[in-house]
Amino acid sequence: MFKRTKEDFKCEHCGEQVVGNGYTNHCPGCLWSKHVDIEPGDRASECGGMMRPVLLEEKNGGYVVLHRCTECSFEKHNKLQNEDNFDPEQVLNS
């Protein structure tokens, strides 16, 4: 079950200050995330590893990014928002 958690954060990969809206789960600049959830928004994961964007793809009229945890290899798809960086070459090589 999704739990909306509104919080601002500083990206631990690129340093960008991110203003959260309750659905924000990755940096809009570099698209990196952090492995903090088991279920979306629950902040129950003990891993805490950084989630590398490994694939950008078009799906159902929008775009999604596949994140893979650099610590435990957990993978999760996340929807991209209009303010996100859509440059696959830049994102996937960061």
**Average confidence (pLDDT) over 51-73:** 93
Confidence bin at 1 (pLDDT 50/70/90) = low
Asked if the model's pLDDT at residue 25 lies above 90, the reply is no
Q: What are the structure tokens assigned to 67, written together?
A: 């994140």
Supply the pLDDT for residue 55.
92
Provide the edge-to-edge strand list for the sheet that holds 50-59. 33-34, 50-59, 62-69, 75-79
> Under the phi-then-psi rule, with left for phi > 0, alpha for psi from -120 to 50, and beta for the rest, what region is 31?
left
**Pair 6, 22: CB distance under 8 Å:** yes
